Amino acid sequence: MRIKGVNMIGVIGGTGTTGQYVVRLLREKGVKFRCLVRSLAEATKTLGDGVELVEADVDTPVSIQAGLVGCDKLFLLTGHSPVMPDQQIRAIEAAKRAGVSHVVKLSGGDAIVQEDTLSAVGRDHYEIEKTLKSSGLGWTILRPGFFMQNFLQMASMVKEQEAVMMPAPADVQVGMIDARDTAAVAAAVLTGQGHENKIYSLSGTVYTPNQFAAALSKELDQKISFIQIPLESAINGMQEGGMPDWLISQQSTLMSMLAEGAFSASNTNIEKLTGSPPRSLGRFVSDHISVFTA
Ligand SMILES: NC(=O)c1ccc[n+]([C@@H]2O[C@H](COP(=O)([O-])OP(=O)(O)OC[C@H]3O[C@@H](n4cnc5c(N)ncnc54)[C@H](OP(=O)(O)O)[C@@H]3O)[C@@H](O)[C@H]2O)c1
């Protein structure tokens, strides 16, 4: 498929949770795109054959600039990291030098992307968004809510303890989004028209932690309990698991905000932008049930 005014789309972050689905959808749409990846061998293992790959690292802006030559649009995502603002700001500057005209950035949720939020990752995304908006490039910012895929990290807890344990009330409302829906919005924006200089909040559908445990119980045909644990216990668990201090600090702030209901918003932007309703929590659990049983 040829998109008006777009010859080639560059993708940074195509091997990750959301990016893999963006790549799959761009392939299905038959548009020309190229993934900038840190390791060609690892990316081929993850994405399979037939995807154009170029070795590039956001820590080395010259490699990003070279990798983006000939690209009109860029999908920009990198994972949690204390250096995420430096990485993404340098990637935006490199994209501009390479001749990219429109950057689609995956940001944080509305609840955290603020100048003075308690959340460090929210402040980081705010800084990157601000730079992108004043870069002179066209931009679209996607602000997804809590990823359902975060629950996959609870697989061993579910298997070993038949419980979901979180430092949050069982009935706290959380807007949850399947990364496949975030990717569907990204693909629609990358291949569609009229999305320049827009911020799309993708808060997802509201569910509770208890509903996640209930969906697992139904799918596994076995009682999975929800247990609210103190934040200190969650922090101890992250320390025992070897998580770095900066990430423990980020995660514990996000969990405290979640527990207080800060992520309870929802909207219908996914359906408006993709034409399909968001995937339900039940569908997510059913599609990933092997992770909780293997
Ligand atoms: N989890 C949530 O609930 C949530 C909610 C809202 C927003 N977010 C935001 O979503 C983003 C994370 O999305 P995700 O979970 O889909 O990502 P992810 O699975 O962590 O994947 C990160 C991607 O970035 C690439 N990357 C990392 N460092 C790189 C570098 N130096 N140079 C080039 N590429 C690099 C990785 O490539 P490799 O394969 O080489 O590692 C991978 O493709 C974060 O910005 C986060 O703040 C998360």
Here the tokens at position 221 are: 């045909």
Q: Please tell me the residue having the least CA distance from ligand 1 atom 13.
A: 79
Indicate the average pLDDT of the chain. 97
Q: Please tell me the residue having the least CA distance from ligand 1 atom 40.
A: 38
Chain segment 151-168, per-residue pLDDT in tens? 999 999 999 999 999 999
Chain segment 217-233, per-residue pLDDT in tens? 999 999 999 999 999 99
Chain segment 75-107, per-residue pLDDT in tens? 999 998 999 999 999 999 999 999 999 999 999
Distance CA 269, CA 116 (A): 26
8 Å CB contact between 196 and 287: no
Distance CA 2, CA 268 (A): 29
Q: Please tell me the residue having the least CA distance from ligand 1 atom 21.
A: 16
End-to-end CA separation in angstroms for the chain: 39
Residue 15, ligand 1, Cβ within 6 A = yes
Distance CA 174, CA 97 (A): 40
Looking at residue 3, the DSSP 8-state letter turns out to be: B
Q: How far is the CA of 15 from the centre of ligand 1 (A)?
A: 9
Residue 258, ligand 1, Cβ within 6 A = no
Looking at residue 162, the DSSP 8-state letter turns out to be: S
8 Å CB contact between 53 and 40: yes
Here the tokens at position 82 are: 């204390």
Chain segment 60-82, per-residue pLDDT in tens? 999 999 999 999 999 999 998 99
**Which of 25, 77, 129 most suits a substitution to test ligand 1, by most atoms within 8 Å of the C-beta?**
77
Q: How far is the CA of 9 from the centre of ligand 1 (A)?
A: 18
3 confidence band (pLDDT: 50, 70, 90): confident
Residue 119, ligand 1, Cβ within 6 A = no
Q: Please tell me the residue having the least CA distance from ligand 1 atom 12.
A: 79
**Ligand 1 atom nearest to 121, measured from its CA:** 47
Q: How far is the CA of 79 from the centre of ligand 1 (A)?
A: 3
- Whether 113 shows a pLDDT value over 90: the answer reads yes
Question: Where are the strands (E) in 71-183, listed by range?
Answer: 73-76, 102-106, 138-144, 146-147, 163-166, 174-177
Give alpha helix (H) positions in 110-244: 120-133, 155-161, 179-191, 209-220, 231-240
